[in-house]
């Protein structure tokens, strides 16, 4: 019985890699200094696994930016525009592809980035041409193997499998499918395997997450052929094919019949597949049990895991069983031991958690417990684990009977506005008295260094709560004044009091905790610190009423209340594993519903509930979509429906394809939806137009991701385009998204142009 993990976080437990990369990019440290930081992290990670007693230590899970981009460099799928440029090093070429490069007469944009399956990690999308050639370019995977070998660790290198690598990319030309490139690509994989084998590698892990997703017949055939070819050429290598994030389902027969040493399955996401896999596994196939959750932060339930291992061993024998994390632990924070602040994370809750380092120990402990279950020490370990798991189940911190009860009483009517949109529109038109093409923004205004420094001083208790709030009040008042000046129709307070759109609400709700160092890589050097939802969620006090009503008190114009929606709060947090996501989501929805009512009660007439994460919550298998959408959309409606017809509900979503879920978006029945649209030149609006979307809509008229100031004519052009497909009575005018990452100067200029554009349109109508 062997132990391994599919991968370890590479950012460093105090974000050492993030800091080093950013220093390198700004020219403050040299290549060697950056590489030293990288080497230290690698060493630390390898030795941590080795010392814990992991049998197969993983290499090549380290990356300076992204593991998919590493692969692109490895197989030389470098797009033309990055070639023949005068980069100092391979590393600079690599960073140029990742982030663009505008220095020393070189000016290239970054490659496209997108979400890694259903995680919050983003990878760099490979680009393929019809005649795409590949050859071994970067030898990183081999170098890392050698690096570890020098320290006496013979590792298991991990590579993205050739089929998944192709499927992760996209075609940059017409007339072919990227899967056809396998014939060109496979020889490079052979070359890599050849070199690794020569260097002494025995085990290789190929990540093939697509093997657990919907596949075409062609793709299935290619997978089978690929691993057959690898087996023929390298009969001595022990190949692990790793699947994760979903169950094998209809691909189960294909997967277990691949001629490989080991198949890894994700038993956290899809425990039900175990039985069928065990029953059908051919005699020479080993199964790697992904039982320690690589996606979430909870302690493993040893008793449950041991019974899973027992089941596998009963059917396969212990030599054919491996124990592992469900997926790479890239998606959880590094080390719980860093959390020593009782005020932030109490020891009671800490005792329920395990981060990446603790998960390594869990994997090893499970093997020890299984092989040797009768020692005194083992009995103690199991008992302690049992106690932690039980205390979590019964703790009064987690259970709030009132909240649990309230969720069970939610009725269909709770998720329905009093009147249909057509009636609401008449009532709202009267109540709000807005001009045609009303102008507004998405909520946040520039979070300047100053604003952030106030917050950090307040957190460090260098200024009092009153001083902090007075500063924010002044900033809010300034924002209100100049919105009045430039004559925006629906004002916002600016969100200066918020660090982050989820964290702000998490901090005010019961049932959430935060960490000090719980960073998870989002992309490149960017890390996020997701809140942890551990218990039933309730709202002890109003969360936004004070700021919104303060802003409203300053002006006779309409001020829009600003909330984050239940699906987005859920999606961007670590969630409970003892309760359906849908139930947790409903608990959040009720808290937001109460907030919406409170805002209405103090006279706020327009309330926006942001849901940028609805689309990314979609399950990986299409057959699961409608089930998810049903509860997710319903949760939004619970949060937005407890009010009178006069009150106008807005929602906002960032860039996303709406075509396949437009019916569900319409079902949300928000009075107004604002979407990101400008970069697609209003193309994203077509989904709404084709559908005859009935409610009001604000297609973003300028891109907020760049400091560039658009002029009014560009925006008039876009609005005219929008007008052609959406009735003008339904159109709003707003930027693509919030403005918190922008500076004041460009923001003021851009919004002034935007208001002028709306006025120009009104004159022509």
Q: What are the residue numbers of the active site?
A: 705
**10 or 498: CB nearest ligand GLN:** 498
Query: 417 touches which of ligand GLN, Zn ion, none (CB within 5 to 8 A by kind)?
Result: none
What is the side-by-side strand order in the sheet with 58-59? 2-3, 321-325, 286-292, 262-266, 238-242, 203-207, 156-160, 58-59
Cα–Cα distance measured from residue 532 to residue 534, given in angstroms and rounded to the nearest whole number:
6
Query: 446 touches which of ligand GLN, Zn ion, none (CB within 5 to 8 A by kind)?
Result: none
Sign of CA dihedral 588, 594, 598, 603: positive
**159 or 665: CB nearest Zn ion:** 665
Going by their DSSP bridges, the two strands 510-513 and 532-538 should be labelled as: antiparallel
18 forms part of the interface with ligand GLN (CB under 6 A): no
Minimum distance from residue 698 beta carbon to ligand GLN (Å): 13
Residue 120 marked as a ligand binder: yes
H or E, element range at 359: helix 356-371
Task: Name 205's bridge partners.
Answer: 158, 240
Sign of CA dihedral 321, 322, 328, 334: positive
Query: 610 touches which of Zn ion, ligand GLN, none (CB within 5 to 8 A by kind)?
Result: ligand GLN
Residue 527 marked as a ligand binder: yes
12 forms part of the interface with ligand GLN (CB under 6 A): no
Minimum distance from residue 741 beta carbon to Zn ion (Å): 11
Q: Which stretch in 142-150, 175-183, 361-369, 732-740 sits in contact with ligand GLN by CB under 6 A?
A: 732-740
Residue 15 marked as a ligand binder: yes
Minimum distance from residue 737 beta carbon to Zn ion (Å): 3
Q: Are 601 and 643 in contact (CB under 8 A)?
A: no
> And the tokens for 97?
């592809």
**251 or 439: CB nearest ligand GLN:** 439
> How buried is residue 422: exposed, middle or buried, by Cβ count under 10 Å (0-12/13-18/19+)?
exposed
Task: Give the one residue of 4, 10, 650, 740 binding ligand GLN; rule: CB under 6 A.
Answer: 740
Residue 414 marked as a ligand binder: no
Residue 652 marked as a ligand binder: yes
**246 or 495: CB nearest ligand GLN:** 495
652 forms part of the interface with ligand GLN (CB under 6 A): yes
Q: Which residue is nearest to ligand GLN (CB)?
A: 738
704 forms part of the interface with ligand GLN (CB under 6 A): no
Closest CA to 188 of 131, 133, 135: 135
Q: Which stretch in 217-225, 235-243, 439-447, 590-598 sits in contact with ligand GLN by CB under 6 A?
A: 439-447
Residue 615 marked as a ligand binder: no
444 forms part of the interface with ligand GLN (CB under 6 A): yes
Taking residue 314's Cβ as centre, other Cβ atoms within 10 Å add up to 11
605 forms part of the interface with ligand GLN (CB under 6 A): no
Closest CA to 266 of 318, 209, 203: 209
Closest CA to 9 of 362, 295, 266, 244: 295
Neighbour-count burial for 571-597, b at 16+ CB within 10 Å, e otherwise = bbbbbbeeeebbebbbbbbbbbbbbbe
Task: Give the one residue of 247, 290, 443, 446 binding ligand GLN; rule: CB under 6 A.
Answer: 443
User: x/- binding map, residues 496-525, to ligand GLN, per CB under 6 A?
Assistant: -----x------------------------
Cα–Cα distance measured from residue 513 to residue 492, given in angstroms and rounded to the nearest whole number:
29
738 forms part of the interface with ligand GLN (CB under 6 A): yes
Residues that bind Zn ion (CB under 5 A): 612, 654, 737
Show binding-site residues for L-methionine. Answer: 442-444, 495, 610
Positions in the binding site for ligand GLN (CB under 6 A) = 442-444, 501, 562, 610, 612, 652, 654, 737-738, 740
């Amino acid at each position: 019985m062997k132990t391994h993990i599919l991968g370890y976080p590479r950012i460093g437990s105090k974000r050492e890699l993030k800091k080093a990369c950013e220093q390198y990019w700004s020219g403050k440290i040299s290549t060697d200094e950056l590489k030293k930081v990288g080497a230290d992290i690698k060493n630390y990670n390898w030795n941590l696994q080795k010392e814990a007693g992991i049998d197969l230590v993983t290499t090549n899970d380290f990356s300076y930016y992204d593991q998919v981009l590493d692969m692109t460099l490895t197989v030389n799928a470098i797009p033309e525009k990055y070639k023949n440029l005068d980069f100092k090093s391979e590393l600079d070429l690599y960073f140029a592809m990742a982030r663009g490069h505008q220095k020393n007469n070189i000016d290239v944009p970054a490659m496209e980035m997108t979400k890694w399956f259903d995680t919050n990690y983003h990878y760099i999308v490979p680009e393929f041409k019809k005649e795409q050639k590949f050859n071994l370019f970067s030898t990183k995977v081999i170098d890392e193997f050698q690096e570890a070998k020098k320290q006496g660790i013979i590792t298991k290198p991990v590579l993205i499998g050739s089929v998944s690598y192709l499927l992760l990319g996209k075609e940059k030309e017409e007339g072919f499918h990227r899967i056809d490139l396998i014939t060109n690509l496979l020889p490079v994989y052979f070359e890599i395997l050849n070199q690794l084998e020569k260097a002494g590698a025995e085990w290789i892990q190929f990540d093939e997450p697509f093997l657990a997703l919907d596949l075409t017949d062609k793709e299935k055939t290619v997978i089978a052929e690929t691993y057959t070819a690898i087996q023929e050429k390298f009969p001595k290598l022990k190949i692990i094919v790793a699947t994760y994030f979903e169950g094998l389902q209809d691909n189960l027969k294909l997967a277990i019949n691949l001629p490989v040493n080991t198949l890894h399955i994700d038993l956290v996401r899809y425990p039900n597949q175990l039985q069928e896999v065990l029953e059908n596994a051919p005699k020479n196939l080993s199964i790697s049990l992904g039982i320690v959750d690589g996606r979430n932060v909870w302690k493993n339930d040893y008793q449950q895991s041991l019974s899973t291992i027992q089941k596998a061993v009963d059917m396969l024998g212990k030599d054919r069983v491996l124990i592992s994390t469900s997926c790479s632990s890239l998606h959880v924070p590094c080390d719980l031991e860093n959390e020593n602040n009782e005020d932030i994370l109490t020891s009671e809750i800490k005792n329920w958690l395990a981060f990446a380092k603790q998960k390594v120990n869990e994997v090893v402990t499970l093997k020890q417990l299984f092989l040797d279950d009768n020692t005194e020490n083992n009995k103690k370990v199991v008992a302690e684990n049992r106690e932690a798991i039980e205390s979590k189940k019964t703790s009064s911190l987690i259970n709030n009977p009132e909240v649990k009860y309230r969720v069970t009483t939610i009725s269909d009517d709770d998720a329905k506005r009093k009147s249909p949109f057509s009636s609401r529109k008449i009532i709202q038109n009267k109540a709000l008295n807005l001009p045609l093409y009303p102008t507004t923004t998405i909520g946040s205004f520039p979070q300047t260094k100053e604003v952030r420094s106030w917050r950090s001083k307040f957190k460090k208790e260098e200024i009092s709560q009153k001083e902090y709030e007075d500063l924010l009040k002044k900033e809010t008042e300034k924002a209100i004044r100049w919105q009045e000046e430039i004559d925006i129709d629906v004002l916002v307070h600016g969100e200066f009091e918020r660090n982050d759109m989820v964290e702000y609400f998490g901090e005010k709700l019961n049932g959430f905790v935060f960490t000090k160092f719980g960073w998870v890589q989002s992309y490149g050097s960017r890390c996020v610190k997701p809140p942890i939802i551990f218990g039933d969620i309730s709202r002890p006090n109003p969360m936004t009423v004070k700021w919104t009503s303060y802003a409203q008190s300053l002006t006779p114009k309409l001020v829009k209340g600003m909330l984050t929606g239940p699906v987005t709060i859920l999606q961007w947090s670590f969630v409970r594993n003892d309760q359906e996501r849908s139930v947790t989501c409903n608990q959040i929805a009720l808290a937001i519903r109460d907030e919406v009512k409170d805002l209405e009660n103090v006279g706020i007439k327009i309330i926006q509930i942001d849901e940028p994460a609805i689309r990314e919550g979609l399950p990986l298998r299409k057959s699961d979509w409608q089930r998810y959408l049903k509860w997710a959309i319903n949760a939004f409606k619970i949060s937005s429906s407890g009010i009178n017809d006069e009150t106008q509900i807005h929602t906002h979503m960032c860039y996303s394809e709406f075509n396949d879920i437009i019916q569900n978006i319409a079902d949300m029945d928000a009075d107004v939806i604002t979407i990101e649209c400008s970069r697609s030149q209003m193309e994203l609006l077509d989904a709404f137009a084709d559908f005859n979307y009935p409610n009001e809509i604000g297609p973003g008229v300028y891109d907020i991701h760049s400091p560039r100031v658009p002029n009014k004519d560009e925006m008039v052009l876009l609005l005219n385009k929008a007008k052609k497909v959406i009735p003008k009575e339904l159109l709003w005018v707003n930027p693509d998204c919030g403005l918190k990452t922008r500076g004041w100067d460009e923001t003021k200029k851009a919004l002034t142009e935007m208001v002028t554009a709306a006025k120009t349109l009104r004159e022509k109508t």
